[in-house]
């Protein structure tokens, strides 16, 4: 039996989904979305071995500087359909095609790499990193992966084409890419730009689908946003046909095309998260509703990079319709206490429903609503004074307080660590910030708090927050896990 009661419901959903797949295979009317991780799909045609062996060659970066008004946007899309039966993933080619078009529309220079083995995948990544290193400080760099992904020894692995997700752990570890060390950790930070990593992967193996061991929670390095198509330890669902996108990429492509130019990429991923969740919860197939994905976002961005480059936005008229809208937006931006943010966001959307910044206001409203409810809980001892923008705060602190006010779990954790570094009276504030971050879904913060309580000889609190961390899908590295023993 699973340690987590919620797993029983997921196991039932997986069994129901398997039944739906059987009905689909026998010719009964079941929507194309009814495919779970590892379900049998049609075999693809054999790929061209010459083409597969040759890594994609990105074009040189166009000349640009941080001050000439132009922006360099680079993307590498890595996707794998071809896995040994029964692990084939038919929608991956469409994912890459559609996302490439959507990103090019937003000014990206896109390199796509389909069905690459490990060596060719590494070559594609190496080429992209070399290109990124020559990009100006205001460049936007985006890496996207769609295929199978697993977690082994707390590391998130991206499986290349041809590698079976059913292999033993050692073989999978040696034959896969590590998300953080092989990709994200090697991408150069762009001080006035942004680094983005998007992983739309099937998050569990067949066995792990009922044992809560999908990809692990992560925190993004400075200047980076990492978006996963589903929560840690949860399965993602792929269609059984080539003519459909996965839920997450379908939403990402649609919102890239339809969302206002003034929306930031960080806000876009929040909107995609909401859209995926709502779409799956309303799906006609009960098993899919029960397995509705809740995308995971780790945001440590330093700059507000909008969907449209500045040169494009400047050709499309003023940002605000009138001075009243501009003043209302400024008031919303200056608010940091979640109940006040919620009130101002509601008013802004009521008074300016067609604003170019409506998407950003919706993100603020949704996040502050959740934050305000969590701050009422007795186990979250964080108060209004913690959200005040006092004199002497650094730019990073002011930014993180504002983000924490709209429910950013990682910003809250960073504020807690700053409080701990100050010592003295900061200890209580540290606990409050990490309690808040844990309530928002930061499993890493929950485990950090568990270790803190253990050092403080509070075993009951330590056990409680360790359990919360595990429930949130965080599996600590062995070296860190040994600290508690």
pLDDT for res 231? 87
Q: Phi first, then psi: what are they for 158, rounded to 5°?
A: -110, 120
pLDDT for res 234? 80
Per-residue pLDDT tens digits for 446-470: 999 999 999 999 999 999 999 999 9
Tokens matching residue 460: 């009951």
pLDDT for res 478? 63
pLDDT for res 59? 52
Q: Write a three-state SS string for 8-34.
A: HHHHHHHHHHHHHHHHHHCCCCCCCCC
pLDDT for res 207? 43
CA dist., res. 475 & res. 467, Å (int): 11
- Check: CB of residue 280 under 8 Å from CB of residue 295: no
Helix ranges (H only) for 112-209 are 118-133, 169-175
CA dist., res. 24 & res. 34, Å (int): 8
Asked if the peptide bond before residue 86 counts as cis, ω within 30 degrees of 0, the response is yes
Q: Which of 304, 244, 250, 239 is nearest to 279 (CA)?
A: 250
Topology (CATH level 3) of domain 6-299? Rossmann fold (3.40.50)
CA dist., res. 390 & res. 167, Å (int): 54
State the pTM of this model: 0.84
**Domain 384-484 CATH (choose: 3.30.70, 1.25.40, 1.20.120, 1.10.3210):** 1.25.40
pLDDT for res 154? 82
Report, as ranges of residue numbers, the positions in the chain whose pLDDT lies below 70: 1-69, 202-214, 478-485
Which stretch of DSSP H or E encloses residue 38? none
Q: What residue spans define the domains of the chain?
A: 6-299, 318-374, 384-484
Give the pairing type, strands 194-202 and 140-152.
parallel
The gap from C-alpha 400 to its chain's centroid, in whole angstroms, comes to 18
Helix ranges (H only) for 238-357 are 247-258, 265-281, 286-290, 310-313, 323-334, 338-351
- Check: CB of residue 115 under 8 Å from CB of residue 52: yes
pLDDT for res 152? 85
Q: Phi first, then psi: what are they for 264, rounded to 5°?
A: -85, 165
Beta bridge partners of 155: 152
């Amino acid at each position: 039996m699973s340690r987590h009661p919620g797993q029983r419901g997921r196991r039932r959903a997986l069994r129901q989904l398997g039944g739906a797949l059987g009905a689909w295979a026998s010719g009964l009317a079941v929507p194309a979305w009814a495919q779970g991780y590892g379900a049998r799909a049609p075999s693809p045609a054999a790929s061209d071995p010459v083409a597969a062996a040759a890594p994609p060659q990105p074009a040189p970066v166009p000349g640009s500087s941080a001050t000439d008004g132009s922006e360099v946007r680079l993307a590498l899309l890595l996707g794998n359909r071809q896995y040994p039966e029964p692990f084939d993933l038919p929608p991956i080619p469409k994912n890459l095609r559609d996302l490439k078009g959507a990103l090019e529309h937003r000014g990206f220079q896109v390199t796509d790499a389909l069905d690459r083995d490990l060596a060719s995948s590494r070559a594609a990544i190496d080429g992209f990193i070399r290109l990124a290193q020559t990009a100006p400080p205001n460049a936007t760099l985006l890496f996207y992966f769609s295929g199978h992904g697993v977690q082994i020894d707390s590391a998130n692995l991206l499986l290349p084409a041809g590698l079976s997700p059913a292999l033993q752990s050692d073989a999978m570890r040696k034959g896969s890419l590590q998300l953080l060390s092989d990709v994200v950790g090697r991408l150069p930070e762009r001080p006035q730009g942004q680094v983005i990593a998007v992983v739309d992967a099937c998050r569990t193996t067949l066995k792990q689908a009922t044992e809560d061991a999908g990809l692990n929670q992560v925190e993004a390095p400075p200047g980076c946003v990492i978006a996963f198509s589903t929560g840690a330890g949860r399965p993602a669902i792929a269609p059984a046909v080539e003519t459909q996108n996965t839920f997450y990429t379908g939403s990402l492509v649609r919102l890239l095309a339809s969302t206002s130019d003034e929306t930031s990429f960080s806000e876009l991923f929040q909107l995609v998260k909401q859209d995926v969740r709502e779409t799956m919860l309303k799906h006609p197939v009960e098993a899919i509703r029960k397995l509705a994905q809740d995308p995971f976002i780790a945001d440590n961005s330093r700059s507000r990079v909008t969907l449209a480059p500045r040169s494009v936005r400047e050709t499309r008229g003023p940002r605000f319709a009138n001075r009243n809208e501009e003043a209302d937006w400024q008031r919303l931006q200056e608010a940091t206490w979640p109940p006040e943010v919620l009130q101002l966001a509601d008013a802004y959307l009521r008074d300016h429903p067609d604003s170019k910044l409506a998407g950003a206001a919706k993100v603020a409203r949704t996040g502050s609503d959740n934050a305000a409810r969590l701050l009422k809980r007795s186990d979250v001892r964080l108060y209004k004074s913690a959200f005040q923008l006092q004199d002497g705060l650094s730019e990073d602190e002011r930014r993180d307080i504002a983000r924490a006010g709209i429910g950013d779990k990682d910003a809250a954790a960073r504020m807690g660590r700053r409080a701990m570094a100050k010592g003295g009276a900061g200890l209580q504030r540290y606990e409050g910030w990490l309690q808040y971050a844990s309530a928002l879904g930061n499993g890493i913060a929950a485990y950090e708090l568990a270790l803190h309580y253990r050092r403080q000889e509070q075993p009951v609190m330590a056990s409680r927050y360790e359990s919360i961390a595990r429930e949130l899908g965080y599996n600590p590295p062995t070296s860190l896990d040994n600290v508690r023993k």
